[in-house]
Every structure is written in C-alpha cells, then in structure tokens.
Structure 1
Amino acid sequence: MRRDSLLVGKNLEHLKIPLTHIQLATHDFSNEYKIANFTGGYAFYRAELEHYDKENPSSKRHNTVLIKRYPPSGNTFFGEKEFLREIEILSGGVKHPNIVNLLGFCVEASEMILVIDNFSNGFLCEYLGNLKDKRVLTWEKRLKICVDVAHALRYIHYEMEDQKVIINRDICSYNIGLDENLEAKIVNFWLSVFLPPNQDDEALYLRWIGLDHYTDPEYKKTGKVKRKSDVYGFGVVLFEILCGRLANDPIYLKESDIGLAPVARRSFGTRTLEEMIDPIIKEEILKTNFVLNRGPNKDSLHTFITIAHQCVAETQDQRPTMEVVVKELEKALLFQKNNMENPKMLLEDIKRATQNFNIDNCIGGGGFGRVYKGRLQDGEGFKTIVAKRLNSRFGQEEQQFLSELQILLDYKHENVIALLGYCDENDEKVIIYEYASRGSLDKYLDNASLTWVKRLNICIDVARALYFFHGGGGKQAKVIHRDIKSANILLNHDWKAKLADFGLSLISPLTHQTDYVIDHACGTPGYLDPVYRKSGFLTIESDIYSFGVVLFEMLCGRSTFIVHKHEGHHLPDFIRNKFDEGKHDEVAFKQIREQMEPKSLTTFQKIAYRCLHHEREERPTTKEVLMELEKALAFQVSYHTYMK
C-alpha cells in the first residue's frame, strides 16, 4: 500500500495500533463515542484505549484518548497526503505542552486514524459557537488560552531543534483543544509545511488552502505563505475570543463575506470595537451577585486589542512576529492579574513617597536602575516601601519589568520579596516592594554578629525559596532565577531572608520535554555557572551553582569579589584550591569558627562543594541542598543544647 510504504524506515512501528483495538474501544465508531464531526468528513472520538508496552506485554493499562478518523481515501480535502504529513510532523520532534502528542496511528484497509492526547473540554469553537457555557471563560482564562496557543506558534516558528520551522497554515478555533484545566493545545497539522532552512524571503509559494475566514488574504491572493500567515489566522482567533463569536457568525457575514477580520479592522479604525466585545466578560458576575472579578482591565484590553489588530493586517509585512505577539499577550495577562491582586500606582504618588526619586533616598542600584526607599501613605498612616526605578538606557527594561511582575504575581512565598504595586506611566517603569529593614545579605558577610546559626537559617530560607521555584510552586512552570547572589538576598528585622530581583529570571514549563533553555548567558561574574556561560544552556542547576557560591560566602565571611581582589580569582576557584590541598577548615570565617559544631561544618561544606561541581549532573537537587542544610542546623542546635 502506498501510504504504508511511505512510513517504512521512519522507525514508527512502536506507534502502530491495530484497527481491531480502536474498533473495540469505540464500539466500531459508534456515535456514542463521537465528540466532533467537522466539514471535510473527519471525526473525533473519545474512548478508553488499551495501551501496552511492547517490550513488556504483561504491562497493560487503559488511557482516555482522542481518536481522529480521517475520511475515506479520495476525499478532495483531507486524504493520504494530509494524514502522512501529520504523522511526519507530530512524530518528528515536535514536543511542546501546547501541542498535542501523537500516541499512535492506524493504517489498515481504508482507515487512516491518529490517536492523540485527550482534551476533556473539547474544542475552542464549541465555546465560541455557544454549544457550551461561555461563562466559564472569564477574561483571564481567555487570555491564558491565547498565551498558550501563542507559545505553541512561537515554538514551531522559531524554537524547534535543528532550526526547523513549521508553518501550520490552518490556525483556527476548530483546531484548538482545551484540556481539563482549559489549557489550550494546537490539534491539527495536516496542512502544515516545513520552511526550508535559510530561505531568504522566509516564504513558500503554494496553492491556497484552508478556511476562508481565517486565511491570510495576501497568501490567498498571491500564493505566498509565510510564518505571518499563521499570525493572521491567530489574529482572527484573538478577535473571536474577544467578541465571543466565531469568525463566520451571520452577524459578521452581513458586513463582509470574509467574516470577522475585516469587520474588526473597520471597527478598530472607527473606535467602535468595544461595542463588539462579548458582554459576558464585561459582566463576569456570579448568580449569587458576588463579583467574580472586575472584568477586563483597561490596560489589558487595550494591549490585547492592539496586538490582535496588528495580527490581522492585510499585508504580511505589517504583521508582528509570534515573538512579539507572545510578549504583548503576556503583558495583557499581567495587567489583568494586576487588576485583581495589586494596584497600579500613580507615578505622582511614587514620586511623593520617594521625594521625587531623591538621591538621598537611593539605597542601591545596578544595570537595571536605582532602588529608592520611600514612605507611602497607607490609610491614616504611612508604610515604608522600596521602589525600583528601571533604567531605559539599556533597552531591556520592558522585558525585565514584565518578567519580574509576572513572577512576583504568580509565585508568592514567605521567602520571596512581596510585590506591593507597580507603575507604568510616561515611559517610567517602577516596581514597588515590601521593605526589608536590614538590607541585602552581602553587607553582613564579614559581620561577626551574624552567628553560625543565623547564617544557617538564612541559607535554609533561600533554599526553601529555590525549592519552591524549581518545583513550580504548584504552577504549570518552574522559575530559573538566573542571578542568585548575596546582594539579591534581603533580610528583615528578624533576619528572615527573602529572595529578590527577578528581572533576569526565566519561566520554563514543567512539562517541557527538555530540561534546559537555550539562552544568551547573563548574570553576575563570580556567581555565574561556567557551563551556562560557555554553552548558553540554562538549567535549574545553574541556580544551584550560584547558590553554592553564596553558601561559601556565608562560610568564609567574604564575598566572591573580595576573594577575587585578594586572591586573583573568584571564590569557587579559591575553594577548590583549598579543598585540593586538604585545607577545608581554613576557609571558615575566623570570628565564628569556634561556634561551629564539627558535624554541622562538615555537612555544610560537603553540600556547598557539590553545588560547585563542574558537571551539572553531579550537582545536588534543590531538595537535597535544603535537606542537608537543615541537617547542618540540627547538628548545630543539638550541640548548643548539649553544651548548656
């Protein structure tokens, strides 16, 4: 059979599923199991399918999956070519949490079937077509769906291995599935094409195909398909989500035979687009009259509408890349979260609190800008706050500002500095934090009043914050701080440590197939993981290395910079030399050395030294670091109790 022969040599034997298994699971494709039947003759079924490991036949289990059944051969729209293309793409290294996984396929008789992840909430089009209760789709949930799909598109356009690029060619709400958490996944890749590497104009010339209401008009007119053809289709989806109606809704077809996109463009130009917004997201009130949330935040809505309008520009060159789209949608989501949890502060109030950013109130700074102490009115009294004013000279303030806000909003922990508010006004970007009265840890490294027990407790506090971030804190993603150093650890009056400064931090999905992020190395010399610096591969072990430097700073009573000044190299090399010479005990801070219980010191040194290992695989996990530090503290406390 031709289609079967095309799969030969692709090492896909392990994905083949007998037709009898699928027929049994669906009662021979009974309507009882059918969840969707789309134009073109293809259908989706949800069923419990026996999944087994062929290397271990006795190991069997049943998984709920979706079965995508192609129409019989000879169909003019979806046939063998499209079926094989989907298998090629989904089995060829496309791995992303917002793209469905290919679990198996069947090619028998006249049947062509794909088995993919189950998404229990069906398709986005079902919500927008009023087949399901749209009231569950609050504005924030709609934004998250948009961000999910945008991440998937950015991935296939720019982030695949071996510089592969895929143009989907069929982005629409019919091809977006929603799982039990309403997380979105791109479902169909039958019309997709690979963009040849290093193609100058980043375009292919192909016969137009797709759904009329989502198709790039320039592609339709000229046959030129680019990544920005996907951007157009996604722009239509953005407006569908905003308006709560499908692109081919009769209300739009009355004004344009193409549907929603030209109507939205025209309304944007006449400033009447707000009239098209789905009234449900304006209300967002429970039946009990308790306010569920305050509806779309003005900044969130403006940011969303602006980027959606840019996506549906009539010519490809006028549209943004998916990298830009992701950034703007994340900003819109951030503004909405701020609306719910943290006030957007007026620049005038912040200036008043800091005496117009008076230099006398400056308590720190760096490449990002300066940090000011201030007194902000809080009811009838005043609250001491810290205001970080980002410096626009370096051009990175926008991304750092958004990254830090996103992390501090989503990841709250007792050992993480608390966000009080923000300001984004008149080109000024300011983040307001809680005030840590003792300042940063680096000021106390050589202070003998910082006892060994206090130092252990501070290290444990930071380890708890890192454990929280590296495990995702119950979220969908983990956070890599990327700039762990003693200057970014703040101390309260009771010496409670708070991890701060997330401007360089990166969020990486927990479900990401790889455990690294390819990135231009940045951080602080003396703390920076040498593997990351050389390779550009960033992992959570890079944070472990930097934390290891901080641990030895606490033990030695000297910063890595002071060591560099006196020894000619930074602290990690100094420590390695001492350990190689067997002079472990000499590195301990003399003023507190007598306080240290031997087992406590040894336990601390061993785990700190492992953190600095040149091989990432040999470094401990954050959990191991935390457990060993707690063990070192237990030895120390037991020793003090015994001495008393």
Structure 2
Amino acid sequence: MKDKGRRSRVTQILLSVVNNLEHLKIPLTHILSATNDFSYTYRIAILDDVQFYRAELEHYDKENHSSKRQNTVIIKRYPSDRRHKFRGEKQFLTEIEILSGGVKHPNIVNLLGFCVEDSEMILVIDNFSNGFLDDYLGNLKDNTWEKRLKICIDVAHGLHYIHSQMEDQKMIINRDICTYNIGLDENCGAKIVYFGDSVFLPPDQKDEALYLDWIGREYHIDPEYKKTSKVKRESDVYGFGVILFEILCGRSANDPIYLKESDLGLAHIARRSFSTGSLEELIDPIIKEEVRENGFVLNRGPNNHSLHTFITIAHQCVAETQDQRPTMKVVVNELEKALLFQTNNKDNPKLLLEDIKQATQNFHNDNWIGGGGFGKVYKGNLQDGDGSKTIVAKRLDTRFGQGEQQFLSELQILLHYKHENVIGLVGYCDENDEKVIVYEYASRGSLDRYLNDTSLTWVKRLNICIDVARALDFLHGGVGKQVKVIHRDIKTENILLNNYWKAKLADFGLSLICSINQETDYIIDHACGTRGYVDPLYRQSGFLTIESDIYSFGVVLLEILCGRSTFAIHKHEGHFLPDFIKNNFEEGKHAEVVFEQIREQIMPQSLTTFQEIAYQCLHLDREKRPTIKKVLMQLKKALVFQVSYHSFMKAKFLQVH
C-alpha cells in the first residue's frame, strides 16, 4: 500500500507539471506517425529500458501552435509497463522539470516537446546525428587529438554550467555522467542528454553533501558515493574523469582488456599507471606514431605539453575521495589550456621563465610600467638571436588565485586573431605557477596619455580612430570568420600607440568568443568592464552583444574629440562623458565639446560626420547603434573631408604665392 501511495503521488506531480507546459505538448498521433508506430527501423538505442528513436517530426510555432517544417529529432520513450513504470515516471518527471526549468546551454540538450497520453511518457529532444559518445568511441580513430579535446571541453562546459553557472544560484548534480549519456551532433559537438536521476542542490548547501542511494554506471560511479551514499558535485567530476580516460584510450571503461587486468575497470588502472609513470602505454595507438628508445613520439595525438596537462587533470578527476577532486571550473581551464598547447604546437611561442626574468631584470620595479586587475606590466629587453628586442611582459598576480581564465582568454585570442591593429603576441610562459604574456612594445604607450596633447592633431586623431575601428571590424567578424570576439573593455587605456602613431587594441582578458551563427545574438554574462565606458544595457541586464563594444567605442571617439577622459568629465561635471555629451547636444552646443586647442583645425563637414556617428554609438537602443562597418566608413569619410579641405587650402595658398 505504501508503494502504491508513492506511485500515486508521483503521478499527481507528473500531471501538475505537464499541465503547466501546454505549449510543449505534442499529440501522440504525431509521434506514432513519425516513428511508424515505434518501428524498430527508427530505433537507435535502448538504455535502461528507455527507448530512443530518430525521426522527422513537425516543428511547432509556440506562439501560433502551427506546424512550420519537418525537423529531425530524438524521441525518448520511457517504460510504461507495470514493472518499470514507477522508475520511468520519476525519471521522466525529473528530466522534464530540469529541461523546462531554465536550463539553457549549448552543451545541454534542448527539450523540444513532450507527450503524456494513454500510458505513454515521451520526451522530444535535439537530434544528435553521431549517436552516443559510447558508440562513437570506436570511431575516434578518425578524429585527431584536437577533435577529441573539443568533445571533452564541450562536456566540461555543460557540467560547469549545471554545477555553478545557472541563474538564481541553482545547482544540479547529474549523478550519471558517462559516455552513454553524451550525444554528439553532426559536427561532433557534445551535449549532456540525460538528467533522469539528477538532483537539485540548494543554494545554501554548496559545500555540503546529499545522502542518497547510489545510482550510476558501475565503472563511472564515484567510489566514495558508492561506499557512503554521500553525493556531491565532485561525484560528477569523477564520472567525467573516467570519460577523459576513455577518450584518451579509445575504449570504454568496462572494455574486456581492462576488466582482465582489474575488475574495477579503467579508472583504477589509470590511477595505478599514473603513479608508476606508465600511463602513456594506455593511450589509443591510433594517435601514436611510434615508440622509440629515447621517448614517446606522437603523430595525430597530443604534443607533450597538451598530453601532460590533459593527463594531470584527468588523474585529479578520478581521485578516490571527493575532496581531492577539482571543481569543473578548474577542469574547463585545464582542458582549454591543453587545447591551446595543441593548436599552437607547430609555431608555439612558449618562452622560458628564466628568459623573461632576464629580460625584465627579474620583474624589477625599475622596469614596471603599469598594471591592472590581471597583474603588473613590465618593460624589458628579450634576447632575439644575436641582438635583443624591447618587449612588454604582463605577469599574472597569483596571490588571490584569480586571473587564470583571463590569461587563457587573452592568450587564445592573441594566438588566433592576428591583425595589424591588434597588439602582437611575442610569446607566453606558464611555468612554476608563473603565468606571463609577452607583447610587442608600443613605444608611445596608451592613448589616454595624449587626449589633451596638442601635438595630436585632428588628422592623427582620426587615423587612430580608424585603426581601432579596423581592429573591431576584424574581431566582430569582418574577415569572414565563423566566430566573433567581443572585447568587453574598450577604453583609451587599452589602445596602444607605436612610434608612428599607429593604434593597436590590447588587453583581451575579459573578451569572449562566440559563434557568428549562434541562435541568439547575445551572451548572458555577469557584466564587467570599466565604469564610464560600459554599455548601460549590459550593466543592467547582463545581456552582452557586439553592440556593447560599439557603445564603449563611442565613448572613446568622444574622448578623442573632447580632449578629456570620461573620468575627468565625471570629476568636474558630476557625470560621465555620455551624459555630458547628451546634455550639450540637446542644447545645441555641439562645437563647445570639441578640444579647444584643435577646434580651429577641423573642417566643419569632418566634424559633423564624426560627431553624428560617435553620438549614434551611444544610443540606448542597441538596435539603433551602427555596426562597426558603418562606423569605419563614416570615420574614413570624416578623414577624406579633412584631408580634401587641407589639400584645397594648400593649393589655394600656392596659387596666391
């Protein structure tokens, strides 16, 4: 009777939840039609009595409830027979609650619809055309080490999101992280596809454990959880660590080759091999070139830096106790570092710490030229062949345990996005807990020093603006890349000038890389940047778009015009430059905001063109801000007006004389 009561309560909860999701309901007749009454030919897998089908199903317009087109989807059919119905209801209820409850991430499957009719319980989710990761392990021979790393990073991002990045401080423990529950799309992008046994972790229970009957796959389950029933986020980390070793070795954790050696499977063997220094023997031979007497040589697989970074973090993940395992934030950082080492293997500008110390006189105070949230910046002379070259070294301040992500972000961008108006990377160091990025030296320093310098003529100022606009055009996708870079901290302090007044955009520690073709045009992120420059809509809502960079660039343009920084204006006027400009423009005082010492130089058409585009950049409605291409075009036009005017005046002067 007790069991019957429990089942009845689950059924009641199930009905109340699905009744609130009317817009996601799909008639059973449509699913039966799409699968030909659940024909075997459409079925792709059976996992724990849940049947998976791949089929074409009509896509519904949620507003109008009208079909628009056929989409390939995955249909999950939960068991409804008496023996499995109670567990099936619980899993179905948990999945629909989680996937419809604000869990949105590129590496977590989307809930497209559901059906609860007759005795059927069905979820409709994204298609993963390459099947489950477990099935795909045998096909990894066709994938380079770089592709394998990207699969790992995808899953890591999904786990990091549910562990610590959800809104309202929600946290989820998946409890069944394994290769069976990871789907791969047509590009081998990985998504976590199963949450049937997941649990919400209350916000006030961050570092505490839940005590639940253990559940999961025999060779992926956290041994401490299995032994004590204590489940934490670190339990997911363990399962993910097993996945890392499966991808490294190209075999399932319960492959007979491992069970023959230990009935505890791959994780146990990997820990033992790591301690004896023989782990490389387990690596998938497909990615090895050969083994020579003098060492381990890799072909399509990892270089030494990438391999060492990957193996170290994988080993930490499968530590036997929960408190020895890293957080998923740390795991993501280490895997991205491994990818960074791998993708830059051919031309890896890694520098020795000793060489950087020698160049900067051991980071001596006499060589210190500035700094910020990342750490201190030093000038130095680095040995370059028979001579030396002047460089700038930015040293991460590790005292507060911060900056790791900024270091990786900046390094990734500077390695992959080279442009004449983006500061050049000389090299980097990640050694002995020291993280240093070394740049080309910009002899004139940052633009903020020259705002009120009369030697910076209007033509020079226009050329600097055009240089920065070119850099932003490149980063926002102006060269046809499949991703765009949002800088997030555009300000005069981050615009450097060389001896010829050429401008170079710098400081990419806060920058974000996102796909040009992503479904939404914004990233939801904790707002960051510099007061006086940051887009007010981004600061208020956390919605970041490339138009946020446009706003910040608009502030820079007007600082260059005014000859004063936004901070100087705030100090004297009580508000930052955007409000100061707005007030003056509304009162028709356009000319009064221009730096007095260059006012006479500026040709009226040049000034009007410049002011109009700069003012548009500050529009509070993002959709009314110009694209960087339009800004660049108008700045060039302002320069043409100015140069043409000077040429005309010069010709006129020569005629007179």
Calculate the TM-score normalised by the size of structure 1: 0.87
Shift in alpha-carbon separation, 1:570–1:4, aligned structure 2, 3 A: closer
Structure-to-structure mapping, 1:495-644, within 5 angstroms: 495-507=501-513, 511=518, 515-519=522-526, 521-523=528-530, 526-529=532-535, 540-561=546-567, 563=569, 571-572=577-578, 574-612=580-618, 620=626, 622-623=628-629, 625-633=631-639, 635-636=641-642
On the 8 A contact 1:342/1:420 being kept in 2, the answer is: no
Q: Is the 8 A contact 1:85 1:192 kept in 2?
A: yes
Residue in structure 1 matched with residue 239 of structure 2 by the alignment: 233
Q: Could you tell me which of 111, 114, 129 is aligned with 2:120?
A: 111
Q: Distance in 2 between the 1:112 and 1:72 partners?
A: 7
Following the alignment from structure 1 to structure 2, what is the Cα–Cα distance between the partners of residues 115 and 101? 9
Q: Secondary structure at the match of 1:320?
A: coil
Q: Name which of structure 1's ranges 162-171 and 467-476 shifts more when overlaid on structure 2.
A: 467-476
Residues of 2 paired with 1:527 and 1:58: CA distance?
Answer: 44
Q: 1:43 is matched with which residue: 33, 51, 63?
A: 51
2:343 corresponds to which of 327, 337, 342: 337
Q: Distance in 2 between matches of 1:542 and 1:127?
A: 40
Q: Identify the match of residue 353 of structure 2 among 347, 353, 360.
A: 347
The amino acid of 1:425's aligned partner reads E
Tell me, yes or no, if structure 1 residue 121 matches structure 2 residue 127.
no
Q: In 2, are the aligned partners of 1:370 and 1:390 still within 8 Å (CA)?
A: no
Greater shift in the superposed pair: 91-100 or 614-623:
614-623
Aligned counterpart in structure 1 of residue 384 of structure 2, from 377, 380, 401: 377
Partner of 1:69: 77
The aligned residue for residue 211 of structure 2 is: 205
Of the three residues 82, 92, 110, the one matched with 1:83 is 92
Cα distance in 2 for partners of 1:619, 1:359 equals 43
Aligned to 2:215, the other structure's residue is in SS state: coil
Q: Of the candidates 293, 304, 307, which is equivalent to residue 310 of structure 2?
A: 304
Q: CA deviation at 1:412?
A: 3.4
Is 1:488 aligned to residue 512 of structure 2?
A: no
Structure 1 window deviating more from structure 2 (318-327 vs 424-433): it is: 424-433
Deviation at 1:83, TM superposition (A): 1.7
For the 8 Å contact 1:150–1:322, the answer to whether it is kept is yes
Partner of 1:21: 30
* Aligned residue identity for 1:255: E
Indicate if the aligned counterparts of 1:3 and 1:80 stay in contact, CA closer than 8 A: no
Deviations 1:469-510 (A, max 9, x none): 445976676544333222321234554422111223344666
Determine the C-alpha separation between the residues in 1 that align with 2:59 and 2:206: 45
Cα deviation for residue 274 of structure 1 reads 1.6
Amino acid at match of 1:312: V
Asked if structure 2 preserves the Cα contact closer than 8 Å seen for 1:40 and 1:71, the reply is: no
TM-score, length-scaled by structure 2 = 0.85
Distance in 2 separating the partners of 1:447 and 1:97? 48
1:359-378 equivalence runs, <5 A: 364-366=370-372, 368-378=375-385
Residues 46-80 of structure 1, C-alpha deviations (whole Å, 9 max, x = no match)? 22222232654776211222222333433539612
More displaced 10-residue stretch of structure 1: 393-402 or 424-433: 393-402
* 2: CA distance, partners of 1:230 / 1:451: 60
SS of alignment partner, residue 430 of structure 1? strand
Relative to structure 1, is the Cα distance of residues 471 and 81 closer, same or farther in structure 2, using a 3 angstrom cutoff?
A: farther
The one-letter code sitting in structure 2 at the alignment partner of 1:302 is: H
**Aligned partners of 2:419 and 2:12: how far apart in 1?**
55
Worse-superposed segment, 4-13 or 266-275: 4-13
Residues 338 and 344 in structure 1, CA contact (< 8 A), matched pair in contact too: no
Residue range with higher mean Cα deviation, 24-33 or 327-336: 24-33
CA offset at residue 249 of structure 1?
0.6
Counterpart Cα distance in 2 of 1:58 and 1:526: 47
Q: Given the superposition, is the C-alpha separation of residues 272 and 174 from structure 1 closer, same or farther in structure 2, using an over 3 Å criterion?
A: same
Which position in structure 2 is the counterpart of 1:146?
Answer: 152
8 A Cα contact 1:411 1:473, kept in partner: no
Matched, 1:214 2:220: yes
Aligned match of 2:282: 276
Counterpart position of 1:32: 41
**1:173 aligns to 2:197 (yes or no):** no
Which amino acid in the other structure matches residue 25 of structure 1? A
Q: How does 1:459-498 map to 2 (within 5 A)?
A: 459-470=465-476, 478-492=484-498, 495-498=501-504
Query: For 2:20, what is the secondary structure of its paired residue?
Result: coil
- Give, in whole Å, the separation in 1 of the partners of 2:574 and 2:430: 43
The structural deviation recorded for 1:176 is 0.9
- Contact 2:144 / 2:300 at 8 angstroms: preserved in 1? no
Q: Name the aligned partner's letter for residue 76 of structure 2.
A: K
By how many angstroms is 1:250 displaced? Answer: 0.7
Percent of aligned pairs with the same residue? 74
1:275: Cα distance to partner?
Answer: 1.2
Asked if 1 retains the 8 angstrom alpha-carbon contact of 2:488 and 2:528, the reply is: no
Q: Which residue type is aligned with residue 104 of structure 2? A: K
Matches within 5 A, 1:237-256: 237-256=243-262
Give per-residue Cα distances to partners, 1:196-227, cap 9 Å, x unaligned.
Answer: 34237533222222211111122222222221
Which of 386-395 and 542-551 deviates more?
386-395
Q: Which moved more, 1:429-438 or 1:548-557?
A: 429-438
Native 8 Å contact 1:364 1:372 kept in 2: no
1:97 Cα deviation (Å)? 0.4
Instruction: Note if contact 2:289-2:298 (Cα within 8 Å) is conserved in structure 1.
Output: no
Q: Deviations over 1:440-466 (max 9, x none)?
A: 333443444544344233223323333
Equivalences for 1:387-398 in 2 at 5 Å? 387-393=393-399, 395-398=401-404
Q: Measure the CA separation in 2 of the matches of 1:90 and 1:467.
A: 37
The residue type paired with residue 79 of structure 2 is P
Alpha-carbon distance in structure 2 between the residues aligned to 1:99 and 1:474: 28
RMSD between aligned residues: 3.5
User: Is the CA contact (8 Å cut-off) linking 2:95 and 2:196 kept in structure 1?
Assistant: yes
Structure 1: distance between partners of 2:622 and 2:244: 41
Quick one: structure 1 residues 310 and 357, their matched pair in 2 at CA, closer, same or farther if it must change by over 3 Å?
Answer: closer
Corresponding residue number in structure 2 for 1:98: 107
| Aligned-pair CA distance for 1:185 | 0.6
Query: Within 2, Cα distance between the matches of 1:48 and 1:137?
Result: 29
Distance verdict in 2 for CA 1:626–1:33, change over 3 Å? farther
Work out whether 1:400 is the aligned partner of 2:406. Answer: yes
1:146 is displaced (CA, Å) by 1.3
Partner-residue secondary structure (3-state), 2:251: coil
Task: Name the CA distance, whole Å, in 2 between partners of 1:313 and 1:616.
Answer: 48
Number of aligned positions between the proteins: 633
Question: Aligned to 1:553, what secondary structure does the other structure show?
Answer: helix
Partner amino acid, structure 2, of 1:396: Q
Displacement of 1:541: 4.8
Look up the equivalent residue of 1:121 and give its one-letter code: N
Q: Structure 1 pair 208/396, CA: closer, same or farther in 2 (3 Å)?
A: closer
Q: Which amino acid aligns with 2:164?
A: Y
Could you tell which deviates more after superposition, 463-472 or 322-331?
463-472
Residue identity opposite 1:370 in structure 2: V
By how many angstroms is 1:230 displaced?
A: 0.9
Q: Distance in 2 between matches of 1:109 and 1:98?
A: 32
